């Protein structure tokens, strides 16, 4: 069980979940176990959920029409209802800090948004209109960013209510989605040959794989049941994409540790933030309550880029991660793009906090924190919530898996008991009796010993010792009835087989026609085995 509070003894050793050593550290750079993360997560889950549903954290901005910077996507068209998103159009319902004026002139053609980015990007200034807008001294502008923070202020950007556009199964997939994932993983091919490359490469891969796996968990957890019309978890889908791969689950936990550490690191700054009036206490208390559950040892970012030698590597890491955030503009499905943007921005913000605050002097540190835009902070908290939800869902899936396993075990046990009381065994028993009855008492004993030895591998019900009056007539009548009963049962079995025959032929024909048709239209290899037969769990366990 991944849940620390639950009873470990309930779990069968056969589940892939058990192959994760829950008492062990999530990675060499994390001083935290799976169990401890489960505990932290169950402690903060409620507050985090409340926080991302507040007016401040539930809105995000993105440019839906931004061109894909890596290939021509001019034919992009999001036609499927499940992948399109609702944008905010009724501004009058929004709180003051989301009004166009506070957002830096959104929808105001006279305002050149990009010109004002310095002001717009200052997180503190954006929180409350009319606050004293004194800026901290500005150190020389280095590139500290792991994503393009200015794009949120683009004129084309639209405001989206994240709670109204949940991340769930949209049907987006196939070659196009695979190309995007392939491109993202391709960013892991570091050119630098500096020391420490391995750790950085490993961390980069884990981040990307953890994001991929976390999206996999969310879509498995929110699938449309076409029979009931309700959205809910689909165990087979989850097992095929994430559950059967302990390394993917581990990477989700790794990402959780990374984002949690980033939040822990800006904790002193967050507690000093001055949120607006009525909003202030509620939001602030939630943030404080969440971050107070986190610990500095959850992730050791200092292990990655230790010295001057690895600084070059850090630059490369930053540029490569920026590319991961930029490739989100190539995702055709709007819902997927929205959540892809939120999460990659959340990771980018975490990396900025972890790697750029570390070596900076106090002035630069203040500068970096002050320059965090509200979109980065919103993305950071929402990404943490996504990971938190993924971990909660993994624990639920594990319970579902174990329940299913138990049901199947029970079925198998029932089958065995039906099987053991099957006529085949009765016949054997009767055959023994018949043979024995024709022999002398002594022979009878010898024979029985031999027979029982011969069938010792069969599990027979223990013979009941019942004193019976030996009645020859009764014995023959009973034998006759038993034989007739057996013949009738055999006939019923043959009859049922004939009845099932057309159905079986139809199923086989349909399956073959399906294969031929897929081959004919050129998608013969589209379905992989695990998708064709998702209940066959391939356990990829080390």
Residue 340 within binding range of ligand FAD, rule CB under 6 A: yes
Residue 213 within binding range of ligand FAD, rule CB under 6 A: yes
The closest alpha carbon to 388, from 21, 38, 1, belongs to: 38
Q: Which stretch binds ligand FAD (CB under 6 A): 293-301, 327-335, 346-354, 369-377?
A: 327-335
Residue 346 within binding range of ligand FAD, rule CB under 6 A: no
Q: How far is CA 109 from the centre of its chain?
A: 42
Give the DSSP letter string of 472-541.
HHHHHHHHHHHHHHHHHHHHHHHHHHHHHHHHHHHHHHHHHHHHHHHHHTT-TTSS-HHHHSTTS-----
Residue pair 311/188 in contact (Cβ under 8 Å)? The answer is no
Contacts of 20 (CB under 8 A, 6+ apart): 2, 34, 246, 249, 250
3-state helix, strand, coil in the chain (%, to 5): 60, 5, 35
**CB of residue 144 to ligand FAD, shortest distance in Å:** 24
- Compute, in degrees rounded to 10, the torsion defined by CA atoms 411, 413, 418, 424: 130
Nearest to ligand FAD of 158, 219 (CB atom): 219
Residue 173 within binding range of ligand FAD, rule CB under 6 A: yes
Residue pair 77/64 in contact (Cβ under 8 Å)? The answer is no
Nearest to ligand FAD of 78, 113 (CB atom): 78
- How far apart are the C-alpha atoms of 177 and 239, rounded to whole Å? 19
- How far apart are the C-alpha atoms of 343 and 255, rounded to whole Å? 11
Residue 336 within binding range of ligand FAD, rule CB under 6 A: yes
Report, as residue numbers or ranges, the catalytic residues: 333, 336
Q: Which residue has the tokens 């290899």?
A: 525
Q: Which stretch binds ligand FAD (CB under 6 A): 333-341, 353-361, 363-371, 435-443?
A: 333-341
Residue 331 within binding range of ligand FAD, rule CB under 6 A: yes
Cβ neighbours of 7 (radius 10 Å): 8
Residue 426 within binding range of ligand FAD, rule CB under 6 A: no
DSSP-derived secondary structure letter, 25: B
The closest alpha carbon to 207, from 27, 353, 58, 1, belongs to: 27
Cβ neighbours of 72 (radius 10 Å): 8
Contacts of 535 (CB under 8 A, 6+ apart): 236
Q: Which of 27, 126, 209, 364 binds ligand FAD (CB under 6 A)?
A: 209
Query: Rounded to the nearest 5°, which phi and psi values hold at 246?
Result: -55, -30
76 is in an annotated binding site: no
- How far apart are the C-alpha atoms of 115 and 406, rounded to whole Å? 63
Residue 167 within binding range of ligand FAD, rule CB under 6 A: yes
Q: How many residues form the binding site for ligand FAD (CB under 6 A)?
A: 23
**CB of residue 346 to ligand FAD, shortest distance in Å:** 13
Nearest to ligand FAD of 4, 390 (CB atom): 390
**CB of residue 201 to ligand FAD, shortest distance in Å:** 14
- How far apart are the C-alpha atoms of 176 and 272, rounded to whole Å? 45
Q: Which stretch binds ligand FAD (CB under 6 A): 73-81, 153-161, 176-184, 490-498?
A: 176-184
Residue pair 119/133 in contact (Cβ under 8 Å)? The answer is yes
170 is in an annotated binding site: yes
- The three-class DSSP label of residue 165 is coil
Q: Which stretch binds ligand FAD (CB under 6 A): 142-150, 163-171, 254-262, 404-412?
A: 163-171
Q: Which of 181, 275, 425, 455 binds ligand FAD (CB under 6 A)?
A: 181
181 is in an annotated binding site: yes
Q: Which stretch binds ligand FAD (CB under 6 A): 178-186, 278-286, 354-362, 471-479?
A: 178-186
Q: Which of 37, 149, 215, 357 binds ligand FAD (CB under 6 A)?
A: 215
Nearest to ligand FAD of 168, 475 (CB atom): 168
Of residues 241 through 260, those in contact with ligand FAD by CB under 6 A are 241, 248
**CB of residue 321 to ligand FAD, shortest distance in Å:** 14
The closest alpha carbon to 321, from 345, 304, 357, belongs to: 345
Residue 232 within binding range of ligand FAD, rule CB under 6 A: no
DSSP-derived secondary structure letter, 225: E
212 is in an annotated binding site: yes
What are the structure tokens assigned to 499, written together?
């009845």
**CB of residue 353 to ligand FAD, shortest distance in Å:** 22
Nearest to ligand FAD of 71, 495 (CB atom): 71
**CB of residue 526 to ligand FAD, shortest distance in Å:** 9
**CB of residue 185 to ligand FAD, shortest distance in Å:** 7
209 is in an annotated binding site: yes
**CB of residue 304 to ligand FAD, shortest distance in Å:** 20
Nearest to ligand FAD of 206, 371 (CB atom): 206
Contacts of 377 (CB under 8 A, 6+ apart): 123, 349
Residues of the shown chain interacting with ligand FAD in the complex, contacts defined by CB under 6 A: 167, 169-170, 172-173, 177-178, 180-181, 209, 212-213, 215-216, 219, 241, 248, 328, 331, 335-336, 339-340
Q: Could you tell me which residues are annotated as the binding site?
A: 168, 170, 181, 209, 212, 241
Q: Could you tell me which residues are annotated as the binding site for FAD?
A: 168, 170, 181, 209, 212, 241
């Amino acid at each position: 069980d991944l849940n620390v509070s639950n009873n470990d003894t309930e779990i069968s050793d056969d589940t892939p979940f058990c192959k994760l050593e829950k008492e062990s550290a999530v990675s060499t750079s994390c001083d935290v176990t799976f169990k401890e993360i489960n505990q932290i997560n169950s402690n903060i889950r409620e507050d985090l959920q409340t926080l991302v549903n507040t007016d401040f954290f539930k809105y995000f901005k993105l440019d839906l029409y931004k061109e894909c910077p890596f290939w021509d996507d001019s034919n992009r068209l999001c036609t499927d209802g499940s992948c399109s998103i609702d944008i905010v159009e009724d501004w009058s319902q929004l709180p003051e800090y989301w009004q166009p004026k506070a957002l830096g002139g959104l929808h105001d053609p006279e305002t050149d948004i990009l010109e004002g980015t310095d002001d717009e990007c200052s997180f503190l200034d954006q929180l409350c209109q009319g606050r004293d807008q004194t800026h901290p001294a500005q150190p020389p502008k280095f590139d500290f960013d792991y994503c393009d923070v200015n794009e949120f202020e683009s004129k084309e950007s639209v405001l989206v209510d994240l709670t109204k556009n949940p991340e769930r199964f949209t049907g987006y997939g196939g070659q196009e989605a695979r190309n995007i994932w392939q491109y993202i993983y391709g960013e892991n091919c570091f050119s630098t040959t500096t020391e420490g490359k391995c750790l950085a490469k490993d961390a980069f891969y884990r981040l990307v794989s953890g994001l991929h796996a976390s999206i996999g968990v969310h879509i498995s957890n929110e699938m449309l049941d076409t029979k009931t019309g309700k959205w809910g978890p689909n165990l087979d889908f989850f097992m095929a994409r994430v559950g059967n791969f302990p390394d993917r689950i581990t990477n989700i936990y790794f990402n959780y540790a990374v984002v949690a550490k980033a939040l822990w690191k800006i904790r002193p700054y967050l507690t000093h933030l001055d949120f607006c009036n009525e909003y202030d206490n509620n939001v602030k208390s939630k943030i404080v309550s969440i971050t107070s559950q986190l610990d500095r040892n959850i992730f050791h970012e200092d292990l990655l880029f230790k010295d001057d030698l690895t600084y070059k590597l850090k630059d490369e890491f930053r540029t490569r991660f920026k590319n991961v955030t930029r490739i989100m503009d190539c995702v055709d499905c709007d819902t997927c793009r929205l959540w892809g943007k939120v999460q990659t921005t959340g990771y980018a913000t975490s990396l900025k906090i972890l790697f750029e605050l570390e070596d900076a002097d106090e002035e630069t540190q203040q500068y970096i924190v002050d320059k965090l835009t509200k979109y980065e902070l919103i993305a950071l908290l929402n990404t943490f919530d996504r990971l938190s939800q993924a971990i909660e869902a993994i624990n639920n899936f594990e319970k579902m898996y174990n329940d299913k396993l138990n049901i199947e075990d029970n079925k198998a046990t029932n089958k065995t008991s039906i099987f053991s009381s099957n006529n085949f065994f009765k016949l054997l028993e009767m055959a023994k009796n018949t043979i024995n009855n024709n022999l002398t008492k002594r022979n009878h004993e010898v024979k029985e010993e031999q027979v029982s030895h011969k069938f010792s591998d069969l599990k027979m019900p223990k013979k009941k010792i019942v004193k019976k009056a030996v009645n020859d007539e009764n014995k023959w009548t009973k034998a006759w009835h038993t034989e007739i009963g057996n013949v009738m049962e055999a006939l019923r079995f043959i009859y049922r087989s004939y009845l099932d025959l057309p159905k079986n032929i139809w199923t086989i024909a349909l399956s073959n026609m399906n294969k031929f048709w897929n081959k004919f239209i050129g998608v013969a290899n589209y379905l992989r085995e695990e998708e064709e037969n998702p209940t066959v769990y391939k356990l990829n366990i080390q």
